[in-house]
Amino acid sequence: LTFHYPNGKRYAAQSTYDQKTPSNLSFANRGMTLEEDINASNDFYLKAGSAVIHKKPTPVQIVSVHYPKRSAAVIKEAYFKQPSTTDYNGIYKGRYIDFEAKETRNKTSFPLNNFHQHQIDHMSDIRRLDGICFVLLRFTVSDMVFLLDAQHMLDFWDQQQDGGRKSIPRQFVEENGHSITVGFNPRIDYLKIIDKIYFNNKTETL
Amino acid sequence: LTFHYPNGKRYAAQSTYDQKTPSNLSFANRGMTLEEDINASNDFYLKAGSAVIHKKPTPVQIVSVHYPKRSAAVIKEAYFKQPSTTDYNGIYKGRYIDFEAKETRNKTSFPLNNFHQHQIDHMSDIRRLDGICFVLLRFTVSDMVFLLDAQHMLDFWDQQQDGGRKSIPRQFVEENGHSITVGFNPRIDYLKIIDKIYFNNKTETL
Helix, coil or strand: residue A90? strand
Instruction: Name the residue facing A57 among B60, B77, B94 (closest C-beta).
Output: B60
Chain B nearest CA to A87, separation (Å): 10
- What is the spatial distance between Cα A113 and Cα A119, in angstroms, rounded to a whole number? 12
Burial zone of B17 (CB within 10 Å; 0-12 exposed, 13-18 middle, 19+ buried) = middle
Task: Compare all CA atoms of chain B with the CA of A50 and give the residue at the minimum distance.
Answer: B129
| Residue A25: strand, helix, or coil | coil
The per-residue pLDDT for A7 is 56
CB B75 within 8 A of CB A80: yes
Burial call B89-126: b when 16+ CB within 10 Å, e when fewer: bbbbbebbbbbbbbbbeeeebbebebbeeebbebbbbb
Q: How far A2 CA sits from the closest chain B CA (Å)?
A: 9
**Contact criterion met (CB below 8 Å) for B35 and B15:** yes
Q: How far apart are CA A47 and CA B61, in angstroms?
A: 23
Please write the tens of the pLDDT for every residue from B170-182.
999 999 999 998 9
Residue of B nearest to A1 (CA): B65
Confidence band (pLDDT; 50, 70, 90) for A200? confident
pLDDT of A188 > 70? The answer is yes
Write out the DSSP string of A128-195.
HTT-EEEEEEEETTTTEEEEEEHHHHHHHHHHHHTT--SEEEHHHHHHHSEEE-B-SSSSB-HHHHHI
Element (H, E) at A117: helix A117-128
- The sign of the dihedral angle between the CA atoms of B41, B49, A82, B102 is negative
Q: Which residues contact B119 (CB under 8 A, 6 or more apart)?
A: B83, B85, B86, B100
Q: Which residues of A touch B94 (CB under 8 A)?
A: 95-96, 129-131
Tell if the CB–CB gap between A52 and B125 is shorter than 8 Å.
yes
CB atoms within 10 A of CB B134: 29
Cα(B193)–Cα(B206) distance, rounded to whole angstroms? 20
When the pLDDT of each residue in chain B is averaged and rounded to a whole number, the result is 86
Contact B1, B15 (CB under 8 A): yes
Given a cut of 60, is residue B68 above it in pLDDT? yes
Residue A17, SS3? Answer: coil
Contacts with B67 from chain A: Cβ below 8 Å: 4
| Pairwise CA distance, residues A138 & B33, whole Å | 42
Q: Which of A41, A27, A128 is nearest to A90 (CA)?
A: A41
**Interface with B, mutate which of A129, A194, A206 (most B CBs under 10 A):** A129
Instruction: Tell me chain B's radius of gyration from C-alpha atoms.
Output: 18
- Chain B residues whose CB is inside 8 A of the A84 CB are 54
pLDDT, tens digit, for every residue of A128-186? 999 999 999 999 999 999 999 999 999 999 999 999 999 999 999 999 999 998 998 89
Whether ipTM > 0.85 holds is no
pTM listed for this prediction: 0.82
Dihedral, A185, A132, A94, A103 alpha carbons, nearest 10: -20
Within 13 Å and on the Cβ side, how many CA atoms surround B142?
A: 15
At A57-109, the pLDDT tens digits run 999 999 999 999 888 899 999 999 988 899 999 999 999 999 999 999 999 99
Q: How many CB atoms lie within 10 A of CB A98?
A: 26
* Cβ contact A91–B79 (<8 Å): no
Please give, rounded to a whole number of angstroms, the shortest distance from the CA of B127 to a CA of chain A.
9
Three-state secondary-structure class, residue A54: strand
